[in-house]
Amino acid sequence: MYPGEESYEDCTPLLSQKSTRKSNLIPYPVPKRDPSPTFDHTPPSSYSISVIPTTVGPSQLEKTASSHSNKPAAFSSSQTIVNGKLVAWMADISLKVQQLQGKMGVILENQGKILLQRESIITKSQKEIKSNENLDTLGSLPVSDDGSFMEFNKKLSQDSHLQHLLIKALVSVGDKDMRCNIHNMLRRVLSDEVAELYYSLSGKRLKDVIKKPILVTEFSKSIFIACQRVFKDISTEVKVKEAVTDWLNQAKVRKIRRMQRHEKMHEKNMEKNAGLI
């Protein structure tokens, strides 16, 4: 026996202990093998499961269709018809909304124009009222005879304040068109009867009548000053002369038309009083 080795006798207690431990162990029962194994069927999936016999090779397998598919189910014909009608209905509503919006735009545009016209009429009326109020302070206008017109011009030449009031009244007449503005100035001071019988732009002889030049009057000078204040960017002198000449020449026509209107109104009043209408 070599040094450091143990004898059989020395190892006997250890072997007896190991054998004792093994004898105390309880063996785990081994389940019996079933000679005919079976498989549990799993829930169906997108792929079918087939039992492959050991006698059949992979190349001999047949592909079978699955009972479940990933493709969406096709709509029925009735659902397709309903969807088509719904799309057509929505398109019709959209078209009608667009048409309604167009009509509303036209209405709003027309309403804006009406409001502008209304404001213009109100402004013009206010200016006419203010002009008439200013003219009332100058005396009884328009003048109905030449003597009154000559007296009016004399006062204008002697009283600068009176002339200032006249110019202020003429400026407040108000009209965007210069020609109409001048005509309104003239008719507020001078009657058609006086204009027809006694005055022309620079004076002229007609048969036995010699007309006076209106350009030399203080009233004419006031018209020039008023037009220069209202129409600053226009050559006023030439246009004022043209407008004054036109208004004086049309005095007779205006007087005849006014007389005809008065006659028609008189006839209607007579018929109304007689109970004919």
Q: How much is the pLDDT for 243? A: 92
Contact 215, 245 (CB under 8 A): no
DSSP annotation string for 232-274:
TTS-HHHHHHHHHHHHHHTHHHHHHHHHHHHHHHHHHHHHHHH
- What interhelical angle do 251-274 and 236-249 show, nearest 10? 50
State pTM to two decimals: 0.50
Tens-digit pLDDT profile for residues 80-136 = 888 888 888 888 898 889 888 888 888 888 888 888 877 766 666 655 555 555 566
Q: Report the distance separating Cα 42 and Cα 49, nearest Å.
A: 9
Q: Report the distance separating Cα 201 and Cα 142, nearest Å.
A: 19
Tens-digit pLDDT profile for residues 232-257 = 766 678 888 999 999 999 999 999 99
Nearest to 198 by CA among 167, 153, 162: 153
What would the two tokens of residue 191 be? 């009657």
Instruction: Catalogue all structural domains in the chain, each as residue range(s) with its CATH number.
Output: 139-275 (1.10.10)
If 0-12 CB within 10 Å is exposed, 13-18 middle and 19+ buried, where does residue 221 land? middle
Q: Report the distance separating Cα 188 and Cα 169, nearest Å.
A: 10
Helices (H) and strands (E) in the chain, counts: 9, 3
- What interhelical angle do 178-189 and 236-249 show, nearest 10? 50
- Please check the confidence at residue 30 and state whether its pLDDT lies above 50: yes
Tens-digit pLDDT profile for residues 168-187 = 888 888 677 888 989 999 99
- Please check the confidence at residue 196 and state whether its pLDDT lies above 50: yes
Instruction: Using pLDDT thresholds of 50, 70 and 90, give the confidence band for residue 219.
Output: very high
Structure-token match 């004919």, residue found: 276
Q: Report the distance separating Cα 178 and Cα 171, nearest Å.
A: 11
Q: How much is the pLDDT for 69? A: 52
